[in-house]
Chains A and B, each alone.
Chain A
Amino acid sequence: AAGVIQSPRHLIKEKRETATLKCYPIPRHDTVYWYQQGPGQDPQFLISFYEKMQSDKGSIPDRFSAQQFSDYHSELNMSSLELGDSALYFCASTQLGTEGYGYTFGSGTRLTVV
């Protein structure tokens, strides 16, 4: 079965650079969630989109922005990168309206800021 695809798998950037992470949800899933997991920490919710509109916002820095496109894939744009942005970034997708949906996560993008 198709899963949530994230790219790239690994990314190394220097401080103050910009990074773009991509997430391709499971076919027919209309909702995408982004999470950030720092070393030894639990995943923290950043932002979510439903039908290409932002549906919820968590602890996402102003330096970050995200959007969901017409094909439902989503991109997380991160500017002015800081060392503290080094983390695993996960994307999950669901299909709202399906009773009792759960998350399906992608394998994540490991971002290292040097």
Chain B
Amino acid sequence: KQEVTQIPAALSVPEGENLVLNCSFTDSAIYNLQWFRQDPGKGLTSLLLIQSSQREQTSGRLNASLDKSSGRSTLYIAASQPGDSATYLCAVRAEGTYKYIFGTGTRLKVLA
């Protein structure tokens, strides 16, 4: 059974710092991995999608990497801003399925 874990569970940093969020999954047989952002009480916004054959994806200040064999992905946020404060969730889609399994999330707070 696929399990997805995110570390740290919560993170508080001063504005301007570069930071790394970690996601690990127990079954490396994945089709792809997606990173989401969720503001309190709001919906899920897709940030980056990485296919199993890819090593990384970039969008603006965000960079996501994938090491499928070791069951890990990282989300790198450069020059963090208070507007980045949110919960970040990673989700993996296992091979042979269409559903995503979500991680436990990292609650990020960027202080002005």
Task: Determine the main DSSP class of A at the interface with B.
Answer: strand
In this complex, the interface size class of chain B, counting residues with CB under 8 Å from chain A, is: 20 to 34
Q: Is the CB of A33 within 8 A of B99?
A: yes
**In-complex Cβ contact of A103 among B51, B100, B103, B104 (8 A):** B100
Report chain B residues within 8 Å CB of A55: 98
Instruction: Provide the residues of chain B in CB contact with A107, threshold 8 Å.
Output: 42-43
Return the CB mask of B13-56 against A: 1 if under 8 Å, else 0: 00000000000000000001010100001111110010100000
Chain A residues near B32: list those with CB within 8 A: 100, 102
Contacts of A48 in B (CB 8 A): 98-99
What chain A residues lie within 8 Å of B43 (beta carbons)?
Answer: 90, 105-108
> Which of A31, A58, A100, A108 is packed against the most chain B CB atoms within 10 Å?
A100
User: Which of A56, A90, A104 has a CB less than 8 Å from the CB of B46?
Assistant: A104
From residue B86, how far is it (CB to closest CB) to chain A in Å? Answer: 14
Inter-chain contact total with CB atoms closer than 8 Å: 56
Q: Which of B36, B51, B99, B102 contacts A56 (CB 8 A)?
A: B99
**On chain A, which size bracket covers the interface?**
20 to 34
| Chain A neighbourhood of B105, CB < 8 A | 42
Cβ-defined partner of A105 (8 Å) among B46, B51, B99, B104: B46
What is the minimal beta-carbon distance from B50 to any residue of chain A, in angstroms? 9
Most buried by B among A43, A104, A105: A43
* A58, B99: Cα distance in complex, Å: 9
Q: Apart from A42-B103, A48-B99, list 7 A-B contacts with CB within 8 A.
A: A42-B102, A50-B98, A90-B44, A92-B44, A102-B32, A105-B36, A105-B46
